[in-house]
Structure 1
């Protein structure tokens, strides 16, 4: 989304300060999509809800964020790029404060929905503002700097979230946004207010927007509540499913016939856009949902503190940040499809390594796959975004970037809900299989229990210890199944990349414009 203001590029200290402010706004937004991951067990405990309900803190933020992303183009035309960016940051600060003071789960979820909604314009606008601040020949530098902050966010999130949760209280994972946001908004306004983009009154597709909210919200609630209500055995889940389907079909028909659609669905008719968007969205859903489950398992079954669980996931950033500038140089000389394929095989290898974990896994064995995962993470976003945007005429790039972002972010929310449910179901299944072995007719079981009784001094303690061990083993086997399936999915979606054709078009120059 390139600015229409024909201002000269910034230089010197002003450019450094402007880049810092815009990058901090991006960082704050991306950080908030992952900072809660390790704090979920603590938040759930403090608010007296289950960890599954606590996961809504992540999924509802992502769903609200996904809905507001496609509105960025319309809002920019109505309000102006700089005003919209500054207002989005300030509202993000207010919603972060509301998250921090939330006394119960409903209030926290309402604040997170608001936070996700106002965060929508931050990613596309931060790219547009940065691209307008640098000379044209330096646009790849601008995008590399942007990609670095966008990559550091999800990586720093779990470590920072864990440290804050353990040292202070979970509220501070939200309060931390207040000084960062106020600084970013103040500096952005001071430097850019003279560079505002022209404003014009453009109509909004109200029916399209309402039907978009209807199907996204009902589908997300269905996925989040499904497990608690026993899925389609519940009339509530059936009703939500039917409503989501009907409103989605209505949305599709309406958007295809509307003159100014909120989402330009016709973009999916392009081979590159379709293949690239589906590939990046499925990959992101698997990538993000595993980032949520791993800390939960470490805290729930390996007795890791929040901060330690965060530190185990943090090495993901080492290679991701180191390779970001390399990608800027590599991209123009390489076939994006080859880089994306290498990334998917890399992810598959990492998840395959994880699928062999045991309950006695040591920290080194946990950290190595996470460290290696940084390599495919760096190779993943930029090439696929280049494929998605290649061949698009310049006027379509904002819409294409916005739509692919919407699909990807929403896929992350759906993936997290499905992965949580899948882990729970597989754990129950493995628990049932393991209990079958725990019979008084099984001499191995009897021998183990009598050894435990001798060691722990009594029958009840021995059985309680056995049950705890059984639960941990079942959860481990269930998670291994999720890791294994994740590896298979990454291999299975490789052909999608090769359905696209290597394009040289307006989009290639905006390789990063789809965002993280």
Structure 2
């Protein structure tokens, strides 16, 4: 709660239940939208006549916009009122969801996804803030459990819903389904949460810091997203974007470190424990999130999976995570969080190595799904104790700022890593394909056999070409997970540079 906000009388009975449903459902919807498009990239690419690598811009643009808006949540709530910002964000989210579903071009879809991310960014922290604000103190733990459950289950259902909807109704409907939910939640919030509104204050905002933040992040993401199509630094445009990103970032650092009320409080990085924890979070989470984008594309483009079945295969990731979360929560009170975090990240690395051994072009569904299920068991060991480790390293009065910085960098790392990893994956696949095509034996004989079975010469060559592509992408996927295992191992090692927390931490601020 920000200064100047009056503590409202807690809601009770049916009113509290309705308010909790609205807030939890809103959080569910916003988190869902971070993964629902992952398995729909192929449909979107086909519908708009673009490549799959360009289709990933739909994911990265949303994540970048959300990351930029998260640090502004506190200022927006103080300037316009928590409930007004929440309801306005929901209305905007619904409008941009409609526009996303009707977008005729990639450029329009990316622009509308940015709007969706800007409106959705504040909704996740505000839904949590309002849950604590409207509920009696004795029910705060239950409220946070409800909120956390929506945060954990939404990424599980995202790929399943995205795949099923895209196959059954078309990719447009992964956005259209948000519209009735946005209307219901925004109207209910205005009616039910009015008494929980906070006082409005005229508070200054770090305009220059915000401008620099948008400048360097926007330039960096454009460079990463467009680099592959424009021959990277062989293009003057990519070079210009790289220079703007580098200079913008340097000026941003200087400005924010000297500003009294920075949009991103970088001073928290003076604490070694926080810096080390965030470094581990950025690399481990970025690698993890990028894999969630690449895997469905591989299943659909190379193995012939529908979006629905790609969603089923990837969704197993979250099943074990839900089951293990309570266990990790109990262990966190007794075990050194560095040990838990290191174990969790190494678990992610081990499952990456399993994929390199098990995942081939001929792998069946359960061979593909089982590593996802195994990986999920280690995720809570990584996420939950890492929050304790990071926030336990800063001063008590810096906890909210540190949590905001964590959320900002976590979301940004997912977008940046996705752009880098998908580019590497496509490039590696093309490189492997060239090698396979140059060393392949018996291609002419295979084409002759196919022609003998009734295929035309062009059809026979296409079949052989598809087989080569299939093997190339399988090898590139294995190489990607080998690299991922190395990144996870490094992050698991680095975490031991952080000191063990010496105080209790309110982790409710970290989501």
TM-score category, normalised to shorter length: over 0.9
Distance 1:58 1:185, change over 3 A: same
Aligned residue for 1:373? 375
Partner of 2:466: 468
Q: CA offsets, 1:90-114, max 9 Å, x none?
A: 1111111111111221111111010
Equivalent position of 2:500 in the other structure: 502
Q: Find the aligned partners of 2:222 and 2:311 in 1 and give their Cα distance.
A: 28
Shift of 1:392: 3.2
Counterpart Cα distance in 1 of 2:250 and 2:326: 42
Counterpart CA distance in 1 for 2:377 and 2:88 is: 35
1:29-68 matches, within 5 Å, as: 29-68=30-69
Q: CA deviation at 1:67?
A: 0.7
| Counterpart position of 2:385 | 383
Give how far 1:453 is off: 4.3
Partner of 2:478: 480
- The alpha carbon displacement at 1:383 in A equals 1.3
Is the 1:227–1:421 contact (alpha carbons within 8 Å) kept by the matching residues of 2?
yes
1:409 alignment counterpart: 411
| CA distance in 2: counterparts of 1:118 and 1:512, whole angstroms | 22
Mapping for residues 442-457 of structure 1, pairs under 5 Å:
444-445=442-443, 447-456=445-454
**Stretches of structure 2 lacking an aligned partner (at least 5 in a row):** none
Distance 2:454 2:9 in 1: 76
Deviations 1:301-321 (A, max 9, x none): 111111111111122222222
Q: 1:53 deviation in Å?
A: 1.2
User: Which residue of 2 is the match for residue 74 of structure 1?
Assistant: 75
The answer to whether the 8 Å contact 2:271/2:393 transfers is no
Distance 2:13 2:479 in 1: 53
Which residue of the partner structure matches residue 514 of structure 1?
A: 510
Question: 1:434–1:470: 8 Å Cα contact kept in structure 2?
Answer: yes
Q: Distance in 2 between matches of 1:331 and 1:228?
A: 46
Q: How many residues align?
A: 509
CA distance in 2 between counterparts of 1:181 and 1:243 reads 37
Q: What SS does structure 1 have at the residue aligned with 2:509?
A: coil
Q: How far apart in 2 are the matches of 1:114 and 1:281?
A: 24
Partners of 1:397 and 1:89 lie apart in 2 by 27
Distance of 1:266 and 1:143 partners within structure 2: 28
Task: Name the counterpart of 1:27.
Answer: 28
How far the C-alpha of 1:77 sits from its partner, in A, is 1.2
* Post-superposition offset of 1:15: 3.0
Please, which runs of 5 or more residues in structure 1 have no aligned partner? none
**Partners of 1:504 and 1:27 in 2: CA distance:** 33
Residues in 2 aligned to 1:298 and 1:2: alpha-carbon distance in whole angstroms: 47
- 2:216 is aligned to 215
Q: Residue 363 of structure 1 corresponds to which residue in structure 2?
A: 365
Residue 277 of structure 1, CA deviation: 1.3
SS of 2:333's partner is: helix
**Partner in structure 1 of residue 489 of structure 2:** 491
State the match for 2:240 in structure 1: 239
SS of residue matched to 1:303: coil
Q: 2:429 aligns with which of 418, 423, 427?
A: 427
Superposed CA offset, 1:356-383 (max 9, x none):
2111110010110111122122222221
Kindly indicate whether residue 196 of structure 2 is the aligned counterpart of residue 198 of structure 1. Answer: no
Q: Distance in 1 between matches of 2:327 and 2:497?
A: 26
SS in 1 for 2:262: coil
Sort the Cα spacing of 1:137 and 1:83 in 2 relative to 1 into closer, same or farther, 3 A: same
Shift of 1:217: 0.3
Q: How does 1:76-225 map to 2 (within 5 A)?
A: 76-136=77-137, 138-225=139-226
CA distance in 1, matches of 2:45, 2:228: 17
Are 2:97 and 2:112, in contact at CA under 8 Å, matched by a contact in 1?
Answer: yes
In 2, Cα distance between equivalents of 1:193 and 1:327: 37
Larger deviation, residues 130-139 vs 375-384:
130-139
Q: Equivalents in 1 of 2:220, 2:60: separation in Å? A: 11
Matched, 1:313 2:314: yes
Shift of 1:346: 1.4
CA–CA distance in structure 2, aligned partners of residues 452 and 92 of structure 1: 52
Deviation at 1:47, TM superposition (A): 1.1
Partners of 1:224 and 1:110 lie apart in 2 by 14
Contact in 1 for aligned 2:40/2:166 (Cα 8 Å): yes
How far has the Cα of 1:212 moved from its partner?
0.5
Aligned to 2:281: 280
**TM-score of the two chains, using structure 1 as the length reference:** 0.94
